[in-house]
Every structure is written in structure tokens, then in C-alpha cells.
Amino acid sequence: MDKYLRAIRKNICSICVDSTETGKCTLNEHENCALELYLPKIVEIVHSTQSEEMEDYVRSLRSEVCLDCRAQEEDGSCYLREDINCALDRYFPLIVETIQTVDKESQ
């Protein structure tokens, strides 16, 4: 997971709205970064979803990660997604691309 985390910090944290200009996370001790919290599940989703369509990856994200998130309601709605305040939702295409790039570089 370390190689994925390093790549995500480089590619996503550096542009995340929850970071400083230098890429330092601004979340406080009471907030969790969903990327770090769910990284193993996210990597598993990317590895198990073989598709050219991002919607297939998003569908897996919703059923395997969002389902466990305390921000998602029983009806599937999520106030974080609705407010564009979910880093996973906001950066998911870039996250998928980053994981796939790490995998290609590791071959």
C-alpha cells in the first residue's frame, strides 16, 4: 500500500482542496481523509474492475466504500458528495489513473 499512498500523495494531495499550496493536508485531528482511510478497498476496486468506463469503477466505489461511510444515507444519498466535499468522489478518476500507473510502473 505504501507505493500507492506515495503516488496518491504526490498526484492527488498536491491538488486537493483540503491541502495547502505545498500539499500539506489541512484536515484536523477530528477529520479523516477518505483516501487514506479506504485505500486498501480502493486499490482492490481498481484491481477487480476491468473496464474502459469510469462509471463501472464508480459503481464499485459506491457499493463497496460509500456503503460503509457514515455520510451516506440509507437511500444512497450523501451530503458530502452533494456538497462536492468528498475527496473520493471529487478525485476518483485521478485516483484510478494513479493506481493503474503505479501498477504499470511496477511490472
Question: Total domain count for the chain?
Answer: 1
Q: Return the biggest CA–CA distance within the chain.
A: 41
Mean pLDDT in residue range 81-85? 90
Contact criterion met (CB below 8 Å) for 27 and 35: no
Domain that holds residue 84: 2-106
Enter the pTM of the model.
0.90
pLDDT for 66 equals 94
Instruction: Give 62: exposed, middle or buried? Use CB within 10 Å, 0-12, 13-18, 19+.
Output: middle
Q: CA 92 to CA 35: how far, in whole Å?
A: 9
Query: What is the rounded average pLDDT for all residues in the chain?
Result: 92
pLDDT surpasses 80 at 23: no
Beta bridge partners, 72, equal 78
